[in-house]
Chains A and B, each alone.
Chain A
Amino acid sequence: MEKRSVDSRVRGVSTGTTILAATFDGGVVIGSDSRASIGGEYVSSKTINKVVQVHDQIFCCMAGSLADAQAVTKAAKFHLSFHSVQMETPPLVIAAASVLQELCYNNKEELQAGFITAGWDRKKGPQVYVVPLGGMLVGQPVTIGGSGSTYIYGYVDAKYKPNMSREECLQFATNALALAMGRDNVSGGVAHLVVITETGVEHVVVPGNKLPKFHNE
């Protein structure tokens, strides 16, 4: 393992990654790629799960060190579950994002993990929050993260429209992931998408060879 990980900024397995979330009319789509890498050169897993369910209708995408992100989401799941038992009501999406924020901000020296939280709650409906490396918390209608996101800022800025339909938003997210995975070497594999609405949760998986192809592929 030493020969692979010495000069990487992230120790151990990194999620490399492209993650995104976008709100549409009546729900939210959250998605990621599925590649885990070591040292920017070795793909240690082609099918890693980066979209984690932290509560019934709240999901998180992880970026950064895989070990740190898995540990934080585990702690977040526990805190949220406990919070929802105490409150006797499902937690708000902002509560989930706040739990992640507290963990990331208070341990910012040791952790290298960033998150996008998306979900649906009765108070504010579909929401997306981003908690990057230092522990900031910002709510946005659409957000992208991870190393692959740099390649799709233009696409997202140009193509995202508020109040799209479910199908339009799903297509937008799939295209964005495909474009990022096509340019970023540490993003790849399959595209995991989760659609969260008032009625429930739907998991859509698009295998690598079924992703949309663009002009130069």
Chain B
Amino acid sequence: MALSNVLHAPAAGFNFDHAARNAELEGLFDAQIPKPVKTGTTIAGVVFKDGVVLGADTRATSSEVVADKMCSKIHYIAPNIYCCGAGTAADTEKTTELLSSNLTIFSLNSGRNPRVVMAVNILQEMLYRYHGQIGASLILGGVDCTGNHLYTVGPYGSVNTMPYLAMGSGDLAALGILEDGYKPDLELDKAKELVRAAIHAGVMNDLASGNNIDICVLTRGGVDHIRPYQVSQYKDKRKTKYKYGAGTTAVLTEKVVPVKLEVVEETVQRMDTA
């Protein structure tokens, strides 16, 4: 059975361990508490005729600084399931990794491919247990034996399923494009273009979303993770190389001291492999 924690069963009820720890840590930082890296983000997903298309921007922000210009927000969960994450970068990364590990163990134990609804249930149970303290807003998309699925899981543990979804700080901009352009049973290229346009709207209208656009297409036949699908037209050309070649720092003196090792004890144990 796949659980959100394989090592030990979680205690019943809500887990407020970190609340006490955070309160204690607050006293240690006399300047400011370090701000977590958020993905800012625009993520979107669309169900089309043959599967699901997921899309995301690639900007990770730490307040007003772009911490990562080529952040990967479309996470692998299973060969047939991928998950876009918005919110706190560490939370989305670790939550999806935990989910992926557990589903892999489940697959090995049961001999079955995981279903999207199972991934959703595990995520919901885990995020609900943390009562919103794990800042992860996720869009899960996948193709399994029951069809093409797209779900969203909120940080408090609420689940919703729709043929098109957008999350993150740029979700309103993306949703406008999706509401206007979505039709049931789209063809692949139309679906990819719709998702690209939705993320692009987020990139253009939300300061916390930007840089490149990644797309991930999931079908019965397999996965096509295109990274990047669209490169930002505002890419800056670096004026010089910032790598330091060998010899940049002059060596003034060199002293080599061999370490003398002697054998103190030697034991031989025969291994019986008959």
- Between A and B, how many residue pairs show CB distances below 8 Å? 47
Query: With A and B bound together, what is the CA distance between A70 and B152 in angstroms?
Result: 14
Chain B interface bracket (under 10, 10 to 19, 20 to 34, 35 or more): 10 to 19
Are A70 and B137 touching (Cβ within 8 A)?
no
Nearest chain A residue, comparing its CB with the CB of B135: A1
Provide the B147-160 mask, 1 if CB < 8 A to any CB of A, else 0. 00000001111111
Are A65 and B156 touching (Cβ within 8 A)?
yes
Are A110 and B158 touching (Cβ within 8 A)?
no
Majority SS of interface residues in chain B?
A: loop
B231 to chain A, nearest CB (A): 28
Are A1 and B137 touching (Cβ within 8 A)?
yes
Are B154 and A13 touching (Cβ within 8 A)?
yes
Q: Which residues of A contact B155 (CB under 8 A)?
A: 1, 12
A83 interfacial contact with B, CB 8 Å: no
Query: With A and B bound together, what is the CA distance between A48 and B161 in angstroms?
Result: 8
Are B158 and A67 touching (Cβ within 8 A)?
yes
Partner of A67, one of B87, B137, B157, B162: B157
Q: Which residues of B contact A36 (CB under 8 A)?
A: 158, 160
Query: With A and B bound together, what is the CA distance between A65 and B155 in angstroms?
Result: 12
B222 interfacial contact with A, CB 8 Å: no
Query: With A and B bound together, what is the CA distance between A68 and B87 in angstroms?
Result: 20
B181 interfacial contact with A, CB 8 Å: no
Beyond A1-B155, A12-B154, A110-B14, whether A67 also contacts B160 by CB under 8 A is no
A47 interfacial contact with B, CB 8 Å: yes
- Residues of A at the B interface (CB closer than 8 Å) are 1, 11-13, 36, 44-45, 47-48, 65-68, 70-71, 107, 110
Instruction: Supply 6 A–B pairs (Cβ within 8 Å), ascending by A.
Output: A11-B156, A12-B132, A12-B157, A13-B158, A67-B128, A70-B158
